[in-house]
Amino acid sequence: MSIEQLEEIAQAMVAPGKGIIAIDESNNTIKKRFDAVGIVDSEDNRRAYRELLLTAPGLSDHISGAILYDETIRQSTRAGKRFTEVMRAAGILPGIKVDMGPQPLAGFPGEVVTEGLDGLRQRLAEYVKLGAQFAKWRAVIHIGDDMPSSTCIEANNHALARYAALCQEAGIVPMVEPEVLMDGEHDIGVCYEVTEAVLRSLFASLYEHNVMLEGTILKASMVIPGKDCDEQVDVEEVADATVRCLKSTVPAALPGIVFLSGGQSDEQSTAHLNAMNQMGPHPWPLSFSYGRAMQQAALKLWSKDMQGKYAEAQKIVAQRARENGLAALGQWRG
């Protein structure tokens, strides 16, 4: 696939007023979510839940793509139609999570590095056949005493760059996600410094690996105080710090940036995105790639009556998509 085609897909992912829904939770993670609301974790219930999300009426008005898990990209609707076919018919780009998750970084207690490069070229070729048009790889950066180390930052960004190069070789748009976790007592200033260092290192690694930025999407965490910090800040301060950090680190050639919610509440994640876009214009579109912040309320309702609340739960998903779509334009009214 040419860079022009990759660029076209990347631009479609961040089309005005649209974002990405992340439904790529591993089976372990979805089990925790199901357990919390009293749903039995079975393959059929996972399939039914993903069908609820992907077939919500009106979803494609504000959702450009969905990140799927390996199990999900192989599944079909109850009527027997492949999820990827349903998505493409609705104008939603199929994406796929390809990393194997974080593992302890040897020699650096408390730090992790994401694994999954072994065999990735072959897995990507299979995902292309299954209909994937973009992929996602998440690196995890902890803030704490003497963390993150430069070794941790470099190891994770080296893996992100190798993954991105393999994606583009396979004709898939890479979404690179270096998540600076909200866990901890750090203030917004520390988060800014760490996020800035991580992003500078990331784009240096992408450059070294000949990754074409025009066919790449950044999935970023916001610059925000740790959850246990005594000094929480208002929406405008988070928006201002995040935009300043991005402008000092992210090349303008990038087609767009989507944010993860990272443990923020539904309303917080929407309000922060909206405030950032009201500060525009920016060198790139700022949109969303939310998981929990898109699904939580719908899952809770669906769990009460999986047949009777199905349509109502779908309406909640579509409404969350609409609210975040408006926020991606700076037009959300709260």
Q: Which residues are catalytic?
A: 177, 219
CA–CA dist 220, 176 (Å, integer): 8
| Closest-CA residue to 23 (of 324, 332, 317) | 317
Q: 């994937």: which residue's tokens?
A: 132
| Closest-CA residue to 181 (of 265, 269, 262) | 262
Read off φ and ψ for residue 180, nearest 5 degrees.
-90, 110
| Closest-CA residue to 146 (of 186, 189, 106) | 186
**Max Cα separation, the chain?**
53
For 212-278, the DSSP string reads -GGG-EEEE------TT-S----HHHHHHHHHHHHHHHS-TTS--EEE--TT--HHHHHHHHHHHHH
CA–CA dist 227, 261 (Å, integer): 13
Question: Cβ distance 134 to 65 under 8 Å?
Answer: yes
CA separation (Å) from 7 to 61, 111, 174, 183, 208? 21, 34, 11, 34, 20
- Helical ranges in 93-179 per DSSP H: 120-130, 150-170
Cis peptide preceding 174, ω within 30 of 0:
no
